[in-house]
Amino acid sequence: MKRIVTAAVAFSVLTLFALAFPQVIHAADAVVKADASAKTNTSAKAAAPAPRPADRVIVMYFHRTQRCPTCLRMGSYSEEAVRKGFAREVKSGAVEFHYVDFQDKKNAALTKGYKIGGPSLIVVKVMKNKAVEARNLTEIWSKNRDKDVFLKYVQDSVAAFQKSKAKTAMKPEVDRSAQKTK
């Protein structure tokens, strides 16, 4: 069962980049094949995970392999904001939360696609199974000392993405409005 859930999560994250990174399609196919192989190799029939909605919001906390206390706290707060603020949506698959180790080679396509250079919280709007909008929630760095403010910021951002009506597929890219220009 754990292998099936792991494969389903991996498949969900990988499908975000099928448009921009064709090699991800091959990786997703491998996950599906491994999942099918695991199902046929088990004697007990495990329930397959429910199909994911074609329209959903995916929240990804990108972190280093070794994390400092602040990064651990931000990851924990991010997960709590999503899982508690959107419990019903998480259960239905309309909202997802994932930890992604950006230093792990298996996550290279995600890291490159969102131009991750350090710990980041990325929110992605998916419509018709294609990423149409993404934003790097850069303010987590200034809000991490006040848990309530942090949780509200993340929950408000996810809620805004749920209401978003973006209609065209995008190439993975982060919001650069918070970056300073020279």
The confidence band for 25, taking pLDDT boundaries of 50, 70 and 90, is very low
Q: Which domain holds residue 16?
A: 2-41
Please tell me the predicted confidence (pLDDT) of residue 98: 96
Do residues 37 and 63 share a domain?
no
Q: For 77-96, what is each residue's pLDDT tens digit?
A: 999 999 999 999 999 999 99
Weakest mean pLDDT among 24-33, 65-74, 78-87, 166-175: 24-33
User: Which residues are CB-contacts of 97 (< 8 A; sequence separation ≥ 6)?
Assistant: 58, 59, 60, 61, 78, 79, 82, 83, 90
Mean pLDDT of the chain: 75
- Structural domain includes residue 175: no
Nearest to 170 by CA among 17, 11, 9, 14: 17
What percent of the chain lies above the pLDDT cut of 90?
57
More confident residue, 76 or 14: 76
Q: What is the tally of structural domains in the chain?
A: 2
Do residues 80 and 6 share a domain?
no
Do residues 23 and 97 share a domain?
no
- Structural domain includes residue 86: yes
Do residues 61 and 124 share a domain?
yes
